[in-house]
Structure 1
Amino acid sequence: MTDQSFVTLSTNDSYARGALVLGSSLKQHRTTRRLTVLITPQVSESMRKVLEKIFDEVIMVDILDSRDSAHLALMKRPELGVTLTKLHCWSLIQYSKCVFMDADTLVLTNIDELFEREELSAAPDPGWPDCFNSGVFVYRPSIETYNQLLHVASEQGSFDGGDQGLLNTFFNSWATTDIRKHLPFIYNLSSLSIYSYLPAFKAFGANAKVVHFLGRIKPWNYTYDPKTKSVRSDTHDPTVIDPQFLTMWWDIFTTNILPLLQQFGVVKDTFTAFNAEEVTNAISHMSIGDLSPPPQPFVSSNERKERWEQGQADYMGADSFDNIKRKLDTYLQ
């Protein structure tokens, strides 16, 4: 269907890797809709060529050079740079309806049925369910809506400093008006939800359709061993998601994306660009992130308890998913 599209955004080469895996996952599950990615000038020329292999449209958005009200809004609210870039998805009026997905999401099955929903359809945010999470939402491109959003951004800003606060302010009736615009949580399963309500994840997690890698640490920041197909992190991330989803992300990356990055010189080595198995076996352990977290200090039992109460458990260490699961299984069997 040529008048409908999935849309994502990449502001640099790291997030472009996420966008590539997202686009590949949509294709893998045979979407019939077009794929569009908005990019900023920070995305390298070689990475743009790779994006063109996955997406039907690669559209440059440079609000610093724009002549519309986005530039004026940026001058007034410089902290909303990325947010104002994301709002450009409403300017894609060549499409009648779109589904926006953040570059740190991964599709687990065909989700074309989302196009049956109306604007603005989204799933609840796990941190404040009366707000929707803006990582996945259904919308209708419209220059009128676009300009209205820019006006709100310029005059009111965003209560959380990002696009989610702004969009919840604009679509402020989402929580109470039409339940049909509330997407089931399985369309935006966030990393936070697994540990905050593990029994529900055990009961319903298998039905997940979209995984959202929330948090500071993204899939491309992890270290992956293609021989064992295992993922590890050198940091203690309180919002880490279940390892099975991270492994899925890396499987798609090494199989479908890495050969393209080789072909266009984004990743350089001496191996044949199209031989994904040879390339991945040659890279015994690889990480494409640019994050080098500092070593974590010793945490006493009292400090650990306080961190749990603050929602900052050590999910990659003592409080790992497997350890929590084993403990709960003793009660749930």
Structure 2
Amino acid sequence: MRQLPDGLRPDRPARSDRAFVTLVTNADYVLGARALLRSIALTGTAADMVVLHTAAVAARDLDGLRDLGARLVRTELLPTSAAFNTAHSRRNQHAAAPFTKGEKPTFHTPLDNFVKLRLWQLTEYRAVVFIDADALVLRNVDRLFDYPEFCAAPNVYEGMADFHRLNSGVFTARPDSDTFADMLTRIDRPGTFWRRTDQTFLEHYFPDWHGLPVTFNMLQYVWFNMPELWDWGSIRILHYQYEKPWQTPHPKAQELAPLIALWQAYVSGGPIPALDTLPAAA
């Protein structure tokens, strides 16, 4: 088995030169990854499904992800300074840049978000597509492997003014050790604060990022904020930004009930409803 850089430890060799990659750093996101992995597998892709995970995730939880076809790659937080880590702790990051349009759950740990940059170390893959663990792939999206680096959808869920900002819940990348090393030189400089963690950093690192259609990263708040954009016939990836569909109690359970029910169908292992039978946004 090929040893990946800087101690990344895969549980098996790669089976493809392309991979869907997600990140799991606690038990809550294991639950999200279960639904995501099943959704990807049901699209019929031949690409690998890779779960980057930290030591905080229990072995029994990882076994469940492996059973769903995931290739597990253990990794660590980035080697950032104590000042950087303090600034991006949950308490300090949320205080300096509070979320005013939705609620992040208590298990959201901002510093963990930067671990997704380690996918640039997965150099045995020609191309990767990163997808946050709080998402579902509703249709085959293998075409994304042929898109250039760096592509992401705009962070649109409230109004058209947000088209200039990207959302890092879905993006295309080309693993490269030099790129990762360069990222490390830029991410942690004196006084650095990334307002939305990895998302803000990636927007800064790739200022000429290519825009994907919003249908490749449809944010759940579009459902009630911009229903005219919601079309089940065209959505490829559904992203549960802010509140997660497994939260109990869920602060927006009534507003997002059809989307939560769809996620529950995937995570339960039961039948998936046909998208054309789902209610329209209103």
TM-score range, shorter chain: 0.7 to 0.9
2:196 is aligned with 1:182:
no
Return the alpha-carbon distance in structure 1 between the equivalents of residues 144 and 23 of structure 2.
19
Q: Offset of 1:120 from its aligned partner? A: 0.3
The Cα offsets for residues 161-186 of structure 1, whole Å up to 9 and x where unpaired, read as: 41101110101122xxxxxx311110
Please state whether the residue corresponding to 1:123 is helix, strand or coil. strand
**8 A Cα contact 1:213 1:241, kept in partner:** no
Provide closer, same or farther for how the CA distance between residues 159 and 81 of structure 1 changes in structure 2, counting only shifts above 3 A. Answer: closer
Residue of structure 1 equivalent to 2:198? 163
Return the match for 1:219 from 242, 245, 250: 245
Give the C-alpha shift of residue 146 in structure 1.
0.8
Question: What's the % identity of the aligned pairs?
Answer: 26
Measured after TM superposition, the shift of residue 34 of structure 1 is 0.6
1:138 corresponds to which of 159, 162, 172: 172
Question: Aligned match of 2:207 in 148, 151, 172?
Answer: 172
Whether 1:191 and 2:220 are equivalent positions in the alignment is yes
Higher relative contact order (CA 8 A, sep 6+): 2
Q: Secondary structure at the match of 1:221?
A: coil
8 Å Cα contact 1:119-1:140 kept in structure 2 = yes
Contact map agreement 1:191 1:241 (CA 8 A) in 2: no
Q: Distance in 2 between matches of 1:198 and 1:129?
A: 16
Counterpart residue type for residue 53 of structure 2: I
Other structure's SS at 1:220 match: coil
- 1:15 and 1:158 map into 2 onto residues whose CA distance is 25
Does the 8 A contact of 2:84 with 2:193 survive in 1? no
Question: Where in structure 1 are there 5+ consecutive unaligned residues?
Answer: 64-69, 175-180, 223-233, 257-275, 277-321, 326-333
Query: Alignment partner for residue 34 of structure 1, among 30, 40, 48?
Result: 48
Question: After the TM superposition, which parts of structure 1 deviate over 3 Å for at least 4 consecutive aligned residues?
Answer: 156-159, 234-238
Specify the alignment match of 2:10 in structure 1.
none
1:46-85, aligned counterparts within 5 Å? Answer: 46-63=60-77, 70-71=78-79, 73-78=80-85, 79=88, 81-85=111-115
C-alpha distance in 2, partners of 1:171/1:17? 31
Select the residue among 150, 165, 175 that pairs with 1:120. Answer: 150
Higher helix share: 1
TM-score by length of 2: 0.76
Q: C-alpha distance in 1, partners of 2:195/2:179?
A: 21
Alignment of 1:1-333 (within 5 A): 2-63=16-77, 70-71=78-79, 73-78=80-85, 79=88, 81-126=111-156, 128-155=162-189, 157-174=192-209, 181-201=210-230, 204-215=231-242, 217-222=243-248, 234-237=249-252, 242-255=256-269, 325=282
Between the aligned partners of 2:177 and 2:255, the Cα distance in structure 1 is 37
Structure 2 residue matching 1:37: 3-state secondary structure: strand
Contact in 1 for aligned 2:37/2:70 (Cα 8 Å): no
Residue pair 1:39, 1:60 contacting (<8 A) in 2 also:
yes
Match for 2:166: what amino acid? F
**Cα pair 1:157 1:166 within 8 Å, conserved:** no
Gaps of 5+ in 2: 1-14, 89-109, 272-278
Which is greater in Rg? Answer: 1
Residues 8, 74 of structure 1: alpha-carbon distance in 2 compared, 3 angstrom cutoff: farther
CA RMSD after TM alignment: 2.3
- Tell me the distance in 1 between the aligned counterparts of 2:193 and 2:216: 25
Change (3 A) 1:157 1:54: farther
TM-score normalised to the size of structure 1?
Answer: 0.65
Take 2:137 and 2:196, find their aligned partners in 1: how far apart are those partners? 27
Question: 1:104/1:74 Cα in 2 relative to 1: closer, same or farther (>3 Å)?
Answer: farther
* Cα deviation digits, residues 109-160 of structure 1 (max 9, x gap): 1111111101001101116221211000000001111112122211273431
Q: One-letter code of the match for 1:116? A: D
Task: Give secondary structure in 2 for the equivalent of 1:8.
Answer: strand
CA–CA separation in structure 2 for the residues paired with 1:149 and 1:115 = 22
Conservation of the 8 A alpha-carbon contact between 1:6 and 1:35: yes
